[in-house]
Amino acid sequence: MNFRQLRYFCEVADSGTLARAAERLFVAPTAISMQIAQLEEGLGGMLFDRTARPMKLTPLGLFFLPRARELLANGQRLEEETRDVASGKSGWLGIGFVRSLLNSVLTDAVRAFRQRHPDVKLDLVELLSEHQPAQLRSGRIHIGLSRFAGPQEPPPDLRHELLFEDPFVIALPAEHRAAKRGKVSLAELSGLPLISYPKDPQSSFAQHVIGQLRALGMQPRVGHEAIEIHTALGLVAAGLGYAVVGASVAQRAQSDVAFVRLPALKALTTVVAVTRVDEEGPLVASMLTTLATVRQAAQKL
């Protein structure tokens, strides 16, 4: 299957006949007929009822048509965007990010960056910190916005730029008695199940959190494992337990979750921008500057 076959198929479906489609496409009807026959052979079924005049789509053709149109539109858009990048009319910047940063630095940084570079295509990819290095090395993204619990030594080919340190806080249901005090005791927390995240074999974040709680003398009981932080917060809001998150998550807090301190918990997470050591693109530099500026402005509030 190729784009020519899709284009010919959609044109015949719109025109009703090979002859009219050939006139619109400026090709011979036999060429269209051959391409559609090859398409049908590849798909394993007939797309048109050729006994009808004008030709009608078969049930398979009716299924295939809207999907073919969508694929053609996406292909045309990709071609146009790639030509713009190649000609210098616009640029492209790929950013991988952990989901917790949607509540803090990422949203404001993207808004500010787009004001400065309206013609640059931003490709935002949600990735756990542990998955970002492979995407940086492959060129899929230019910047990885990562959150680490515990010390991290970047590999030789990657650079870590510290954006901010983020202390841990406890996410509780808004109606919990500790919500009004702004802090929770170890005793209160010990009676609740822990909602752990992210549930991913490559991530050590959840185990690090459990280790920090154990170091305080707790024996955390994992009630639920969430794939990502927003699911974890949704389970907290439902009253199913508590979660341990970075304090910056509370910047755009939801009303049914309270973020409180656990005074005994002194550990921090670090939020870093990860780039390749040989990365010298001006758009990358501009985004790194924007991230730093946004974070500094947030700290002054």
What tokens were used for 152? 């991290």
Q: How, if at all, do strands 121-126 and 92-97 pair?
A: parallel
What the chain holds in terms of domains, given with CATH numbers, is: 3-87 (1.10.10.10), 92-163+270-300 (3.40.190.10), 165-268 (3.40.190.10)
Task: Return the beta strands (E) in 55-157 as ranges.
Answer: 56-57, 92-97, 121-126, 143-149
Q: How would you classify the pairing of strands 158-173 and 243-246? A: antiparallel
Total-model pTM: 0.69
Give CA–CA dist 66/250, Å, rounded: 42
Separation between Cα atoms, residue 213 and residue 195, nearest integer Å:
13
Containing 206, the helix (H) or strand (E) segment is: helix 205-215
Beta bridge pairs of residue 269: 149, 166
Residue with tokens 């916005």: 145
pLDDT in tens, the chain (301 residues): 898 999 999 998 888 888 888 888 898 989 988 999 999 999 999 998 888 777 889 999 899 999 999 999 988 888 877 776 665 456 889 999 999 998 888 999 999 999 988 888 899 999 999 999 999 999 999 999 999 987 788 999 999 999 999 999 999 999 999 998 999 999 999 989 999 999 998 888 999 999 999 999 999 999 999 999 999 999 999 999 999 999 999 887 778 999 999 999 999 999 999 999 999 888 999 999 999 998 887 666 5
